[in-house]
Chain A
């Protein structure tokens, strides 16, 4: 990663121009040109430095319901339970964490009313109590990283 890559990662996490030739417009401030910027973005996406380039939508404001949930899974059952949980298409992501509450997943459904149905199914399939932690207030959300 050279200085130009670093500048792209650090300066282009927002504010990509809304105009006919946005790469040309953004390139000017980065010390490159349109073709150079497009080539760098292609390379940074290909090598996995970037996971995506484009609009970052707020899924909740677009409509839909989300809820953070946790399970306390006995170690011997962990892989089996992970399979049961992940099989639900409403499970958007799922993380293993070091804690008695060792499985944390986010449910994403079209409507809030769909969440209890999915939770009940997971409880029935796994035999475990699901702890739901719906968001009550959002103080901040921004995922920006310095390269």
Chain B
């Protein structure tokens, strides 16, 4: 990739990470603020979708406003030899929004698999945790869930 293209991509990200303008021709509007053509804006967004720097373009719902008030970070101590295979299976469950392997911090923290579960109530979260537990089977040694009780800060992951 050329340096000029990288510079344009960075300007495009900065111009659009807060949102697209709600006008009939939004890409032309963005192009005008950047001093480039509409085709360049569309082309670079398409390229960033292709290389996955751009996850998607669309609406980002506020899950609290939609009633998803129970947010449980479920954590699991899963046998190391099985965690990649099982993590992929847990990540594929429709109600799991993020699923990661992270290091244990023994003796304080025995868990190596993190799966974020959102639901309308804690009861719903618990039912979903049961599904994860069944999926993990005998490779599971211990588990816990940490419900969020307050957002202390949320500025989002943005280029500054």
Asked whether, in the complex, the Cβ of B25 is within 8 Å of the Cβ of A21, the reply is yes
A98: chain B residues within 8 A (beta carbon): 146-147, 149
If A86-B152, A133-B103 touch, does A12 touch B58 (CB 8 Å cutoff)? yes
* Min CB–CB distance A118 → chain B (angstroms): 14
Q: In the bound complex, what is the Cα–Cα distance between A8 and B114 (angstroms)?
A: 31
Asked whether, in the complex, the Cβ of B99 is within 8 Å of the Cβ of A44, the reply is no
Asked whether, in the complex, the Cβ of B61 is within 8 Å of the Cβ of A147, the reply is yes
B60: chain A residues within 8 A (beta carbon): 13, 50-53, 56, 143
Contact with A along B86-123 (1 / 0, CB 8 A): 01101110001111111101001100001000100000
A16: chain B residues within 8 A (beta carbon): 20, 56-58
Q: In the bound complex, what is the Cα–Cα distance between A136 and B28 (angstroms)?
A: 40
Contact with B along A15-28 (1 / 0, CB 8 A): 11011111110000
B48: chain A residues within 8 A (beta carbon): 55, 57
Asked whether, in the complex, the Cβ of A52 is within 8 Å of the Cβ of B18, the reply is yes
Q: In the bound complex, what is the Cα–Cα distance between A15 and B46 (angstroms)?
A: 11
Interface of A, helix, strand, loop or mixed by DSSP: mixed
* Min CB–CB distance B8 → chain A (angstroms): 13
Count of interface residues, chain A, beta-carbon cutoff 8 Å: 75
* Min CB–CB distance B124 → chain A (angstroms): 13
Asked whether, in the complex, the Cβ of A53 is within 8 Å of the Cβ of B65, the reply is no
Count of interface residues, chain B, beta-carbon cutoff 8 Å: 71
Asked whether, in the complex, the Cβ of A96 is within 8 Å of the Cβ of B148, the reply is yes
Asked whether, in the complex, the Cβ of A18 is within 8 Å of the Cβ of B19, the reply is no
Asked whether, in the complex, the Cβ of A49 is within 8 Å of the Cβ of B61, the reply is yes
Interface of B, helix, strand, loop or mixed by DSSP: mixed
Chain A minimum-CB-distance residue to B43: A18
B20: chain A residues within 8 A (beta carbon): 16, 53-55
Chain B minimum-CB-distance residue to A90: B160
* Min CB–CB distance B10 → chain A (angstroms): 8
Asked whether, in the complex, the Cβ of B19 is within 8 Å of the Cβ of A52, the reply is yes
Q: In the bound complex, what is the Cα–Cα distance between A144 and B155 (angstroms)?
A: 19
In-complex Cβ contact of A131 among B25, B46, B109 (8 A): B109
4 other A-B residue contacts (CB within 8 Å) besides A47-B65, A53-B59, A134-B102:
A20-B28, A53-B20, A91-B153, A99-B146
21 of the cross-chain contacts (CB-CB < 8 Å) are A22-B26, A23-B26, A41-B22, A45-B19, A49-B66, A51-B62, A53-B20, A55-B13, A56-B54, A57-B13, A57-B55, A61-B52, A95-B151, A96-B149, A97-B148, A101-B109, A105-B152, A133-B102, A138-B100, A139-B99, A146-B66
List the interface of chain B (C-beta within 8 A of A).
Answer: 13, 16-20, 22-28, 38, 42, 45-46, 48-49, 51-63, 65-66, 68, 73, 84, 87-88, 90-92, 96-103, 105, 108-109, 114, 118, 144, 146-160
